[in-house]
Chains A and B, each alone.
Chain A
Amino acid sequence: MKLRLKHHFSDFTLDLDLEAGSGITALFGRSGAGKSTIINAVAGLLRPDEGHLEVGGETLMDTTRNLHTAPHKRRFGTVFQDARLFPHLTVAQNLDFGTRYAPKGSNIPRNDVIDLLGLNALLTRAPNTLSGGEKQRTALGRALLSAPRMLLMDEPLASLDATRKHEILPYLEHLRDGPLKLPILYVSHAVDEITRLADTLVLLKDGKIAAQGPLRDVMSDPAAVPLIGVREAGSVIEATVQSHDTDGLTTLKLHAGTLVLPAVTASVGTKLRLRIKAQDVMIARTRPTDISALNILAASITGIHEGTGPGVAVTLDIGGEVVLARITRRAVIALDLRVGTSCFAVVKSTTIAPTSVGR
C-alpha cells in the first residue's frame, strides 16, 4: 500500500508519504496527531484535501483526477476503537455480515477465525451483552471474515482496561504470526502495543512522519526517544526462553549473555521480544558486585545522544544487540563515558513488566 496524503485541520496540516507492506505497520503518534484521519482516508470514509492511494498496482484514490473508490469497493477491513458491532445482530451474524460481499474463494475459513479469536462461546450472544474485549474480538473477526486485502486497526485496544488489553494482544500476535499473513496498518498511541505488535514503525509528529523503519531500529534510535516519550522509549530485543526457575523467575538467552526476569508463560525455546525501557537501564564502568540487580551485561558504548534536557540517551552494544539507556548528563561526565567505552549495563529484573514481553 502506498499512500500520499495532505489534509488541513484548523491547527495543523497532515502531510505524509506512507508505505505499508507485509506484516504489521504501526503508526504511532499522540492523540490528535491525525492518525484516525489516515485510517479513514485509506478506508474511503473521508476525502482528504489531497491524496493518492495505491494498493497492489490499483489506484483507489487520486484527488487530482477526483477519483474516490467507494469504501465498500476498497476492501479494507477496519477495526475501530469503538467496536461498532451491529446491535440488531448476534455475534455470529455480525461475523457473517461481510462474507457475502467477499470475492469468491478468498474467504478465510470461518472456523479458523472463530478458533483464533476464541469466539465459540459467544456466537449466540447479542453485542450489548459482551465485554469490551469480547466486542473487539468480534469486530476483529468480522473484519477478517470480510476477506479484506488489508486490515486497518484504529486504536483497537484504547478503550479497554489494561487487563482486557493484555487479553487481546496475544490474539493479535497470533494473527501476525499465523498462516493468514494479512498486512495490517495499526494505529496507536500506546507504546506497549506497538512494541509487541509492529514489524514496521512509523512515528508521526505535527502531521508529518518523523521516523520510520523496522521496529527495532526505530526503537533503538536515540533521536526517536522524545517522539516516543522519554519514559516509554526503549529498545526492543529478541530473546529465547532458556529456563523457568524454581524461584519464580525466567531466564532468557540473549545473543550474548542471559536476562533474568519475572516468570513469563511461554515454554522453553520460545522466541520472545521484549522492550527494555531506556530509563530502566543503568550504566556501570566496572562490574558491580553486591548489588540486587540480577542482570549485569557487558556492553560497549556506540553513541551518546544529548537532548535538550538533563537526560542523555546512550546506545549500548550488547553482543550485537542495541540497547538504549537513558541517564543524566552529569553521570556521563562523572563516569567519563565516551563512544567506545567498555561498560556494564545493569537492568533490574522487576523493571521488565510482563506486559512488555511478547512474541
Chain B
Amino acid sequence: MTLDAVAWDALRLSLWVAVWATVIAVPLALWIAWILARKEFWGKSLLNALVHLPLVLPPVVTGYVLLVLFSPNAPAGAALATIGLTLAFKWTGAVLAAIVMGFPLMVRAMRLAFEAVDPKIEDAAATLGASRLSVFTRVTLPLIAPGILAGSVMGFAKAMGEFGATITFVANIPGQTQTLPIAIWTALQIPGGEGKAAAMALLSCTVALGAVFLSEWLARRVALRIAGAP
C-alpha cells in the first residue's frame, strides 16, 4: 500500500475541485433555497424539479447533458470560450459537474433551514427599523447558519466523491481531470493495482471523516451561538 505521485495529484485535484465547487455553489444554492422556501410564483414546481433532477438522473446522463451543452462547439461552451473559460476535459468542467451533482443536496438542506425560520420574527425585526437586507444578515442568516453549514458539507462531500458525471463530462486525464475517485477506479482497471486503490480509498475515507468531524465541530459552535450562550 503506497501512495505515489499520481495519488497525491488526484487528492490535490479533488480538494481543489471540491473547494471551488462549494464556494461557487453555496451562494447560488442559498438564493435558490430562499426562493423555493419563501416565494410563490408560476413555475416554482418546475424550478424545484430542475434543481432536483441531478439527484434522480443517472450521473452518466447528467455528465452527457453537460457535455452536450458545454463542449467547445456547443452554444454554451462556445459562449464561455469567448471569455476564455473552457470546461470540457478541464478541471473547471469537473467543478461544474461537482456543482450540478451537489446542488440538490445543498438546496434541500438550506431550504429546510429557511422554512424553520418563523417569518414573524423577521417581521418583528422590520418593525424595529431593520431593512430587508439587515433582517436577512442579522436575523435570518444567523438562524439558518447550521443549515448552510450542513448543505456546504454535503456539497463538499459530494464533490469529493463525484464520479459518473465527472468522468463522462471531463474524462480521465491524470493531473487534469483525474480526481481521487477516478484515480481509484483507474487503479482497479490495471492488474495488480489493488494495493494502490486500497491506499487511495483509505485516503478518501480519511478526508471524508475529517470533513465530518470539522462540520460537527463547527455545527456545535454555531448551535451554541444560536442558543445564545454568553
> Does A303 sit at the interface, judged by CB under 8 A?
no
A101 at interface, CB cutoff 8 A: yes
Contact in complex: A90, B228 (CB < 8 Å): yes
| B65: min CB distance to chain A, Å | 41
Interfacial residues of chain A within 57-75, with CB under 8 A of chain B in the complex:
70-72, 74-75
* B128 lies within 8 A of A98 (CB): yes
Q: Report, as a range, how many residues of chain B touch the other chain.
A: 20 to 34
In the complex, whether B125 has a CB less than 8 A from a CB of chain A is yes
* Nearest CB on B from A231, distance (A): 33
* Closest A residue, CB atoms, query B128: A98
Q: Which of B32-40, B137-145, B210-218 contacts A (4 or more CB under 8 A)?
A: B137-145
A101 is contacted by which of B123, B130, B143, B226 (Cβ under 8 Å)?
A: B130
* A88 contacts partner chain B, Cβ-Cβ < 8 Å: yes
Q: Which positions 119-153 of chain B face chain A at CB distance < 8 Å? A: 120-121, 123-132, 134-135, 138-139, 142-143
**Category for how many chain A residues contact B:** 20 to 34
B120 touching A82, Cβ below 8 Å:
yes
A43 lies within 8 A of chain B by Cβ: yes
Chain A residue with the shortest CB-CB distance to B118: A84
The reply to whether A142 and B228 contact each other, CB–CB distance below 8 Å, is: no
Question: Which residues of B line the A interface, CB within 8 A?
Answer: 118, 120-121, 123-132, 134-135, 138-139, 142-143, 225-230
Further pairs besides A70-B126, A124-B230, A146-B128: 10, Cβ < 8 Å: A43-B123, A44-B126, A45-B126, A71-B123, A71-B127, A72-B134, A78-B127, A84-B118, A87-B121, A143-B128
Q: Tell whether, in the assembled complex, residue A86 and residue B127 are in contact, meaning their CB atoms are under 8 Å apart.
A: no
A102 contacts chain B at the CB level, 8 A cutoff: yes
Tell me whether B124 and A128 are in contact (CB under 8 A).
Answer: no
Of A44, A71, A89, most buried by chain B (CB within 10 Å of CB) is: A71
Residue of B nearest to A43 (CB): B127
Neighbour of A80 across the interface among B124, B131, B139, CB < 8 A = B124
List B contacts of A127 (CB < 8 A).
228
- B124:A84 contact, CB within 8 angstroms: yes
- Complex CA gap A162/B130 in Å reads 33
Q: Are B121 and A146 in contact (CB under 8 A)?
A: no
Inter-chain contact B125/A97, CB cutoff 8 Å? yes
Q: Is the CB of A77 within 8 A of B228?
A: no
Contacts of A125 in B (CB 8 A): 228
A84 to B227, CA, bound (A): 15
Query: Which one of B127, B132, B226 contacts A88 once the chains associate, using CB atoms below 8 Å?
Result: B226
Which residues of A lie under 8 Å from residue B226 when comparing CB positions?
Answer: 87-88
Q: Is the CB of A72 within 8 A of B126?
A: yes
22 A-B residue pairings within 8 Å (CB atoms): A45-B126, A70-B126, A72-B127, A72-B129, A77-B127, A78-B124, A78-B127, A80-B120, A84-B118, A84-B124, A88-B139, A88-B226, A97-B138, A98-B128, A101-B128, A101-B130, A101-B134, A127-B228, A128-B228, A146-B127, A146-B128, A152-B127
A76 within 8 A of B: yes
Contact at B130–A76, with CB atoms within 8 Å?
A: no
In the docked arrangement, what's the CA distance between A44 and B148, Å?
Answer: 30
Q: Which of B129, B131, B134 contacts A146 (CB 8 A)?
A: B129
Q: Please give, as numbers and ranges, the residues of chain A lying within 8 Å of B118 by CB-CB distance.
A: 84
- Are A89 and B228 CB-contacts (below 8 A) given A84-B121, A97-B138? yes
Q: Are B130 and A86 in contact (CB-based, < 8 A)?
A: no
